[in-house]
A and B are shown apart, each in its own frame.
Chain A
């Protein structure tokens, strides 16, 4: 039983991490109606910046405070140079351009930092596990849960309780109208995109100490992030949070138990191979199921 609880916790933790990755994506896609495949690259750049600043200063805090302006800056440059020209274009054009950005950034980091993965350890003070009841749980993963929930809370307040949030929501439902009311929607979009880039960078920073900071690390997360925002309802922060945790728990519990469950029905060599394959399909099955009953996702953007 404790084993199951621990796996649930693992799933939640993975889910919260997915939320960090997908929150920015859902904002940009939902509000600006831009398919930004380069979100994964912004995540990767966040990790590279954080690894570099961490190596210089030896402090994850300082790395964080240096990473924030760097991520914002990159986000704004990307928005001004490329995406701004694409708002009125078709989604396919956006896909092409942002796919090009992926290739550009993947090769770019190799030119600047080299092809090796970057060194980024867990801070000394967080490297020992914490005892939760009788489970020794990695402290750093608890920190990820904390940061993820904090980001969710801040975003929620920002979007539903502030003037900027109101403009963002208004821009999402009717861009031309709020422009007619005299709001600078260009600037608003730049702010949203910068926020998306910052969130991606933050996810990269949090990922650095436990994952491999390397060229191409964004793409595997990107796919999961898209699954999350489709399940959650595009543009909805609440949806992204719920869907991330759902996907995280499904994925982890599936990975841990499906092979053993299959073992009871089919011979061991088949179960061993088919188990993980089925488990990795699970989240996509979940997505199909959700889309079948709620084509707009769990929390359609109107209900944001």
Chain B
């Protein structure tokens, strides 16, 4: 009996040695960060840019966060909430991470946030802008390096209010799509020529464009992330509508997709928290190092990932490397005194950035290729609309 047990145990040990990569022994002075995002498919570029921004910051810090040996564990949510929950639970139980960063989609964030916060593990959203986290679910362990969903379209709404009249609204028929319109309409009070909610994943826009032509708006505001934005812009141009009106977007056009858009993007106007043209040393260095390391231009999503790493670094330094001192980590992160490529931002009571939003336009450069230029500041020190619902004060 005993013999059997020993044999079984040694067999078990042998197989685990042979097949499982050895998890490094959890050291007290090692910081472990779980980075999760969706990577498959065309939509994967959002996750990729966040991750690459994060890893660039880590490189610049000499591979150490807060001066401690650092281990980054990457998890793929496959854009699915249920897979996100599995990844999160692996991070917390198996990898025993101190920080979780990442998350592209609001529905994934909504599915996983409780696990991390219950476990008293810091969670930094580098993209997902679900309003719940800014309002009633705000938490001492949750931070954002991105934005609230409403904020970018709010900037667009303000822009329209100032410059245009009679808009056609085009958005996706799901929660974030409706949030975009809510945000837009918070500041735009002018005429609405019509509105259409399309099915998520739509790729043929002929029906929508025909409706828009018949409604005769002065301009279109569209929320169409990823490949949907690309097909929309291409078909918008082919339809000839581009000769009579402009297409304004949020979360469709950014640097990483410009090559795929080509000339189709020229004339597009969008809003973003990142003034990519800024000559601040932090921004110049960020763009240069990113382009050198990855051989492609940085995007706003990369900025979000980059800043998350800087925030974690700041937090650990604030606690003098004591990872158990959550209060000091939090206090340091709340100062947000990092060298962000976006320029400065400060945290609101709900740990959501108070930051600027810019109008950006795609123009042709000397060779006729598209490039994004900043056309002015729409919001200075913008606060999200939900912070009053958050009970946290500090």
Contact = CB atoms under 8 A, between A and B. Distances in A.
A and B bind? yes
Given A117-B257, A273-B173, A276-B199, A110 B210 contact: no
B234 interface: yes
Best-surrounded residue of B48, B195, B234, B256 (most CB of chain A within 10 A): B234
20 contacts: A3-B210, A13-B206, A116-B260, A119-B260, A140-B238, A141-B206, A209-B234, A210-B231, A211-B230, A212-B226, A212-B260, A213-B260, A217-B42, A252-B206, A255-B207, A255-B208, A275-B197, A276-B197, A277-B173, A280-B199
Interface string B234-261: 1101111000000000000000110111
B44 interface: yes
A121 B264 contact: yes
Interface in A1-38: 3, 6-7, 10-11, 13-14, 17
Given A116-B259, A128-B240, A215 B235 contact: no
Interface string B34-73: 0000011111110010000000000000000000000000
B335 interface: no
Given A7-B210, A256-B211, A116 B262 contact: no
A216 B234 contact: no
B346 interface: no
Given A14-B206, A276-B173, A277-B173, 7 more contacts: A110-B44, A117-B42, A119-B260, A121-B263, A212-B227, A214-B226, A216-B43
A245 to B, nearest CB: 14
A112 B364 CA distance: 28
A211 B262 contact: no
A106 interface: yes
A216 B231 contact: no
Which one of A107, A129, A138, A256 has the greatest number of beta carbons of chain B within 10 Å? Answer: A138
Contacts of B199: 255, 276-277, 279-280
Given A3-B214, A211-B203, A216-B40, A141 B227 contact: no
Q: Considering the complex of A and B, which 6 residue pairs feature the smallest CB-CB distances, nearest first? A: A214-B42, A212-B227, A216-B41, A117-B260, A10-B206, A129-B240
Contacts of B39: 115
B325 interface: no
B260 A210 contact: no
A237 B235 CA distance: 29
Interface in A198-254: 209-217, 220, 252-253
Contact of B230 (A117, A215, A252, A256): A117
Nearest to A128: B240
Contacts of A14: 204, 206
B70 to A, nearest CB: 25
B201 interface: yes
Contacts of A140: 238
Nearest to A127: B238
A272 B198 CA distance: 10
B16 interface: no
A122 interface: yes
A118 interface: yes
A259 interface: yes
Interface of A: 3, 6-7, 10-11, 13-14, 17, 106-107, 110, 115-119, 121-122, 127-129, 136, 138-141, 209-217, 220, 252-253, 255-256, 259, 272-273, 275-277, 279-280
Contacts of A272: 195, 197
Nearest to B39: A115
Contact of B42 (A129, A215, A279, A280): A215
B203 A115 contact: no
A210 B235 contact: yes
A210 B236 CA distance: 9
Contact of A259 (B196, B259, B296): B196
A227 to B, nearest CB: 15
A276 B41 contact: no
Interface in B288-313: 296
B230 A212 contact: yes
A128 to B, nearest CB: 7
A272 B174 CA distance: 11
A106 B40 contact: yes
A210 to B, nearest CB: 5
Contacts of A212: 42, 203, 226-228, 230-231, 260
Given A215-B42, A216-B41, A272-B197, A10 B173 contact: no
B176 to A, nearest CB: 14
A140 B204 CA distance: 13
Contacts of B228: 212
A97 to B, nearest CB: 20
A215 B79 CA distance: 14
Interface in B213-232: 214, 226-228, 230-231
A122 to B, nearest CB: 6
